[in-house]
Structure 1
Amino acid sequence: MSTTEALAGEETSSDRWDPVREMPPSAKLVAKVLDYNEQLTQSQLAEETLLPPRTVRYALSRLEDADVVEARISFTDARKRLYTLAI
């Protein structure tokens, strides 16, 4: 792979993070944790990020508004939502 191809690949991968760049640090952290994990609940995100649940809720709402994360109902517990990264 040439240097040009490598740089083009980096630009493509960084473009997917553009919607997250101007968000608060908590939203960036939640998005990055979701990038490493396939899907997590809000409580699992709070545990993984060491952020308070209220901060995770705010981060998720910002990320959902920007269409960065998708939420769906958990089949095992309908009271919980599972979050996945959509970018």
Structure 2
Amino acid sequence: MSTSETTRADESRLTGENVTESIRDLPPSAKLVAKVLEYNDTLTQSQIAEESLLPDRTVRYALNRLDDEGLVDSRFSFSDARKRLYSLDLE
């Protein structure tokens, strides 16, 4: 299996062709953040940065790109209103 086929197989695991098409043209950082959110239901921005080993600024950019595509859902944290919780919105 070639690298591009492996990438497509990983992307299609993200539940369906429509999501795959949306994610395919995104930068690698957004793909990584989506994958981290797929494996961890809900995380804060700092938790995503810790899990993905990406800088905070890159995570912020990736979340904005995913939000532009309608693939991420965010809400305020009840335990700390200064933080937002992010999860994938694959519907």
Normalised TM-score (structure 1): 0.83
Percentage identity across paired residues of the two chains:
62
Task: Tell me how large the CA RMSD over aligned residues is.
Answer: 1.5
Residue 56 of structure 1 aligns with which residue? 59
Larger radius of gyration: 1
Residue 66 of structure 1 aligns with which residue? 69
Structure 1 Cα separation of the partners of residues 20 and 85 of structure 2? 21
Give the count of matched residue pairs: 77
1:12-63 per-position Cα deviation (integer Å, ceiling 9, x unaligned) = x341322111000000000000000110000000000000000000000000
Code of the residue aligned with 1:27 in structure 2: it is: A
Within 5 A, what are the aligned runs for 1:22-41?
22-41=25-44
Normalised TM-score (structure 2): 0.80
Structure 1 gap ranges (5+): 1-9
SS in 2 for 1:62: helix
Structure 2 gap ranges (5+): 1-11
